Chains A and B, each alone.
Chain A
């Protein structure tokens, strides 16, 4: 009997200790000397700025150092048509790499457009969205420039993917979309 009470006491203590941990909040820390950053972390909240975030927008019209130039065709129907006519890929044949473009396409585009570009992505199959066109849709007749313009600005219900992909990646995806289009038209 005495031993049983001892076991119960030890068990109770263990349970008591373990129950101090709460999975819905942070665990207890022992002497968190350098746990909290003194400097500004990228996405942290900050009271210093009026909008409460550390990440602030750069000034309008500034150009950062490095391999970056602004996209100068406007986000209008005219811009779209201009791009469709005139915009060409800066990649030469050695730079086009479907091994890079393919996975990027699968990540960002395939979910709606389908991995084959036939407009039958997962979301379409599950009827979450409708009206995704095939790349070989004759009425649309997409070109290198129009693909890039749509990727950059979005069109109709499609949003911009300029945030997700950098310029190099966008052109790789464009090249891959053209390959899919050619495959569909075969």
Chain B
């Protein structure tokens, strides 16, 4: 590892004295453990919200869209607002896993799994709205160009709503495949660790027989890269297509060419805010602070700041162009946003989206977890208002003043939105208990380059060779095999004498033999070796000091420093006292 160069300016991405095994254990812990009370409480709340949402959806579909607050003028409001909001949230996941992969950002590895899960669950929620806001959702399959009995009646490919169908469904399927291929090595890890047959069966099923051979890994990397290359234009185009729903219309306030990049920036903005919200909780709940560090949060905050500023520039551009255009309708649309009956929504959006991310310029604030959490929620509220403002304020007052009206949601509008939030968290909570929430296979690839422990060793100028050893991994068992052949007694008799002088000899007539295997680091074979030397009791072990450890190492000739590192004497002392 001496040849490895990493700029010392880079801070470690994995803190704590983590070995490969530790990564496995930390990632597997939430999956292998039992859910605590807090999880059940939160899950129940989410489930109730979800069921309430289902009730509202059933009520809408069976009774009619008229139960919503829509009217003849404002015929898109909460439905499409929520749709765009959820799609936007979903974008951060693909951005983190695909775009950051293309840019070789190592910090993505601890967060990409959860971000992608978030994408998929958010796209589920988004996907509900195009269906349930239909007047006759049972004919939704007509949007697909399927040969049929109506003389092969076809869809019109000129509508961005049809493009939405293709965009969202492609986006969901590609994200799902990308996510799942990344999960294979991690599911295989859970499969190999599973002790209960049911879990073993499930994880064997979902890991598709991943055996981690070199060829597999090589292809895995290639597939990831290709999918990342495909997913990146997808991220940009999907939200662009969503923005076309508005940008291709003739409504003043909608008909804009800035929408495609502006919506994408907004999507990344709100998506990262959501990732931040979720991960700040997850790192605490799942004890993953060593993987999702403050640095990760800081970097996400920087992305939020950047995209927030892009959104801010877009707002200013829109305002400038409205003034510059000389089109009264356009100018009125923006005047109406700022001073009309929905001024509060506009100013909420402005202050939440434009001003709140600017706090991230201050290092103190962007490295504060509490503050990031707060801002990430504020941003998501702001981004919801952005979609609401764009949709409703443009519709409720446009060309004909005789068509001007107002919009207010009914409880069903709100209930469905709450339901999707509940559904999202139901899925996310279930995910966090059954899926490896961190891509451990990926994290392990950066452990030696970006792990705190290894960075420190490297910075001290020490060699990394042998430092990957972990007392609990199979590597040790191999060295233990060696331990059963101690050097011939002639060579070591002097050291033996010295050793026994230090810790005292065992008198079989007055003392009883202790079970040395209780000491961590002593296996059955090591016990045999110790007994062969003449060490039988905790008392003897407890008297061992640095000198005796060294002597023992010389006698056994096996891995040096083992007894010292495990603090055998300390362990023996505790055993004696209890």
Residues of A near any B CB (own CB < 8 A): 30-31, 33
| Cβ distance B131 to chain A, nearest Cβ, rounded Å | 15
Residues of A within 8 A of B136 (CB): 31, 33
| Cβ distance A12 to chain B, nearest Cβ, rounded Å | 25
Is residue B5 contacting chain A, with contact meaning CB distance below 8 A? no
Residues of B within 8 A of A30 (CB): 138
In the bound complex, CA of A81 to CA of B135 (Å): 68
Residues of A within 8 A of B138 (CB): 30-31
Residues of A within 8 A of B139 (CB): 31
| 5 A–B contacts from the bound complex (CB under 8 Å) | A30-B138, A31-B136, A31-B138, A31-B139, A33-B136
| Cβ distance A32 to chain B, nearest Cβ, rounded Å | 11
| Cβ distance B63 to chain A, nearest Cβ, rounded Å | 15
Residues of B near any A CB (own CB < 8 A): 136, 138-139
In the bound complex, CA of A31 to CA of B141 (Å): 13
- In the complex, which residue of chain A has the Cβ closest to the Cβ of B139? A31
- In the complex, which residue of chain A has the Cβ closest to the Cβ of B138? A31
In the bound complex, CA of A30 to CA of B140 (Å): 13
Residues of B within 8 A of A31 (CB): 136, 138-139
- In the complex, which residue of chain B has the Cβ closest to the Cβ of A30? B138
In the bound complex, CA of A33 to CA of B139 (Å): 11
- In the complex, which residue of chain B has the Cβ closest to the Cβ of A33? B136
Q: Which 3 A-B pairs give the minimum distances between C-beta atoms?
A: A31-B138, A33-B136, A31-B139
In the bound complex, CA of A116 to CA of B487 (Å): 133
| Cβ distance A65 to chain B, nearest Cβ, rounded Å | 39
In the bound complex, CA of A110 to CA of B47 (Å): 79
Residues of B within 8 A of A33 (CB): 136
In the bound complex, CA of A31 to CA of B140 (Å): 12
| Cβ distance A27 to chain B, nearest Cβ, rounded Å | 12
- In the complex, which residue of chain A has the Cβ closest to the Cβ of B136? A33
| Cβ distance A82 to chain B, nearest Cβ, rounded Å | 58
In the bound complex, CA of A33 to CA of B64 (Å): 13
In the bound complex, CA of A64 to CA of B138 (Å): 47
In the bound complex, CA of A132 to CA of B138 (Å): 62
In the bound complex, CA of A144 to CA of B139 (Å): 62
In the bound complex, CA of A63 to CA of B515 (Å): 120
In the bound complex, CA of A31 to CA of B137 (Å): 11
In the bound complex, CA of A162 to CA of B138 (Å): 50
In the bound complex, CA of A179 to CA of B139 (Å): 61
In the bound complex, CA of A98 to CA of B476 (Å): 113
| Cβ distance B149 to chain A, nearest Cβ, rounded Å | 12
| Cβ distance B218 to chain A, nearest Cβ, rounded Å | 37
| Cβ distance B151 to chain A, nearest Cβ, rounded Å | 18
In the bound complex, CA of A97 to CA of B365 (Å): 99
- In the complex, which residue of chain B has the Cβ closest to the Cβ of A31? B138
| Cβ distance A104 to chain B, nearest Cβ, rounded Å | 35
In the bound complex, CA of A33 to CA of B138 (Å): 11
In the bound complex, CA of A31 to CA of B136 (Å): 10
In the bound complex, CA of A93 to CA of B138 (Å): 63
In the bound complex, CA of A31 to CA of B138 (Å): 8
| Cβ distance A28 to chain B, nearest Cβ, rounded Å | 14
| Cβ distance B355 to chain A, nearest Cβ, rounded Å | 50
